[in-house]
Amino acid sequence: MKYNVILIGSGFGSLTAAALLAKRGMKVCVLEQAKYPGGCASSYKRKGYWFETGATTLVGLDEHMPLHYLLKETGIQVPFRRLETPMQVHLPDGQLVTRFQKLDEWIGEAERVFGKGRQRDFWEHCFKISQEVWRTSLEQRSFPFSNPKDVWQGVQHTRPRQLRLLPGAFRTMEDLLRRYGLLENRLFVGFVNEQLLITAQNHMEEVNELFGATALCYTLYGNYYVDGGLIRLARAIEQYLTSKGSSIRYRHAVKSVNATAEGYDVTTGAGTFQCRFVISGIPLNNTHELFRDEHLKSKLRRYTLPSEKLNGAFTMGFVIKNRFRQSVLHHQVHVPEGLPIIGSKSFFVSFSHPNDTERAPSGHTVVAVSTHVSDPEHSVIYDKKPLVEAILALMEKEKLLQREDILYLDSATPGAWIFWTQRAFGMVGGYPQYRHIKPWQMKDARLDHKGAYICGDTVYPGQGIVGTCLSGIIAVHKLLQDHF
């Protein structure tokens, strides 16, 4: 069957690109190896409950942000619940930090917990940077540049305020803390490092100021919850595609992509599909293996990262009886001594909304726990019990649950992620930020400069639903710029 565009994988970058292309009247087909859409921003059903696959937080609906742009362009509507309080952080000294959304409230809380010092100056600077980063990201859709037309369009859309961001690409978050006299505050340094892991996948000495400031400030924007789980957002995009004459084909794992005179042959276990253009929404580590062109494979391999520079995850999903209503759904618990086996110094907890009866019946709550596993290829977890016990004990200590309320519990290692998602090494969260890789050095959306493109969390701009959404927007922009 012939399509205008085939997208590999139904992660949020792919879904974004598919929706925007379908809006332009193109016949689009998304090939997905699983039975649900959404990739690492989806949900799955087990024992009658809906668990999140990976991502549990949702931002990007504010003006000048990618998800807002996508929904405005397509008219897709999803009933979101705005969270009054985005997150709480449980520090190693026993203090509880509430990450308020309003900047002044958050600065007051940061000063209360970490001491005044120059907290206000630091957070006002970070928030200003984050606002400009998001605004610029939609204005500069040709970035990163990979041909003369990109450069020309970049120049045309350059504004003086954008140029003020440039020094931030050469400074790390460690430099920024030093600038504001906060580097000797060990409690604050630990807080910053574990918060950066959530969205930048790395610590302050590696994360540049542009990504780091934006990552730290994601709680200062609208944070949302979707009843039924994030799969509901993916399903809404799927319905939009169907209404435009396009589709998602499940249980279609792509085996190879071969360039032809008229476009590409994309082969799955179920057959071969023809298309004029192809967009990969799976990681670079997986993408470069699909192409038969050895020169292209070699070229793309230079952008891939080995397991030693990536993160996997240990995850837990369980159901508890509602002994009390959670007023804050998302929590990060710091573990300065490190968790058993893997050594992670924090874990993230998300509760389903107490009024969401789509994920669990009234009186029950679905809980998701995740923590980083560095170098997942070589971090084999043979016995999960000590890790599970340590996390449950800490959650009890922090009054996030009582063990006798648990009705069901399951856990998974990076090996399970390989099985579920087919992502190389069981990688989660995309490529971590590294100081030696500047934003303009990240892989841009073009794969072969003919008709193959890429989006997702291993190319610019990287992690999170909002980042992969932007990558899908950029891929579409470059495809249309190149060929229409």
- Domain match, 249 and 168 both: no
User: What is the token pair recorded at 104?
Assistant: 């002044």
CB 35 within 8 A of CB 47: no
- Domain match, 180 and 259 both: no
Q: Is residue 86 part of a domain?
A: no
User: Which stretches of 310-433 are assigned E, i.e. beta strand?
Assistant: 311-321, 330-334, 346-351, 364-374, 406-412
CB 301 within 8 A of CB 157: no
Q: Is residue 269 part of a domain?
A: yes
- Domain match, 416 and 436 both: no
**Cβ neighbours for 128, distance < 8 A, ≥ 6 positions apart:** none
Instruction: Residue 424: name the closest of 338, 300, 317, 341 by CA.
Output: 300
CB 13 within 8 A of CB 42: no
Residue at a domain's end among 173, 191, 216: 216
Domain holding 383, by residue range, is 307-426
Q: Is residue 163 part of a domain?
A: yes
Q: Is residue 188 part of a domain?
A: yes
**Cβ neighbours for 344, distance < 8 A, ≥ 6 positions apart:** 314, 335, 338, 371, 372, 373
Residue at a domain's end among 378, 406, 426: 426
For the chain, the domain total comes to 3
User: 221: alpha, beta or left, given left = phi > 0 and alpha = psi -120 to 50?
Assistant: beta
**Going by DSSP bridges, is the β-strand pair 271-280/364-374 parallel, antiparallel, or unpaired?**
unpaired
- Domain match, 37 and 132 both: no
Which sign does the torsion angle of CA 219, 222, 228, 231 carry?
negative
- Domain match, 298 and 321 both: no
- Domain match, 160 and 259 both: no
d(CA 450, CA 257): 13
End-to-end, the C-alpha distance of the chain in Å comes to 23
- Domain match, 145 and 112 both: yes
Instruction: Residue 11: name the closest of 53, 44, 39 by CA.
Output: 39
Distances (CA, A) of 353 to 208, 363, 368, 479: 34, 11, 12, 39
- Which amino acid appears at position 101 of this protein? Q
**Going by DSSP bridges, is the β-strand pair 311-321/364-374 parallel, antiparallel, or unpaired?**
antiparallel
CB 61 within 8 A of CB 68: yes
Residue 76 pLDDT: 96
Q: Is residue 95 part of a domain?
A: no
- Domain match, 268 and 341 both: no
Distances (CA, A) of 131 to 62, 64, 140: 10, 9, 14
- Domain match, 416 and 311 both: yes
Q: Is residue 87 part of a domain?
A: no
- Domain match, 189 and 287 both: no
- Domain match, 345 and 384 both: yes
How far is residue 347 CA from its own chain's centroid? 16
Residue at a domain's end among 426, 444, 473: 426
Q: Tell me the CATH number at 470.
A: 3.50.50.60
DSSP category for residue 407? E
- pTM to 2 decimals? 0.96
pLDDT in tens, the chain (484 residues): 699 999 999 999 999 999 999 999 999 999 999 999 999 888 888 899 999 888 888 999 999 999 999 999 999 999 999 999 999 999 999 999 999 999 999 999 999 999 999 999 999 999 999 999 999 999 999 999 999 999 999 999 988 888 899 999 999 999 999 999 999 999 999 999 999 999 999 999 999 999 999 999 999 999 999 999 999 999 999 999 999 999 999 999 999 999 999 999 999 999 999 999 999 999 999 999 999 888 899 999 999 999 999 999 999 999 999 876 778 999 999 999 999 999 999 999 999 999 999 999 999 999 999 999 999 999 889 999 999 999 999 999 999 999 999 999 999 898 888 888 889 999 998 999 999 999 999 999 999 999 999 999 999 998 899 999 999 999 999 999 999 9
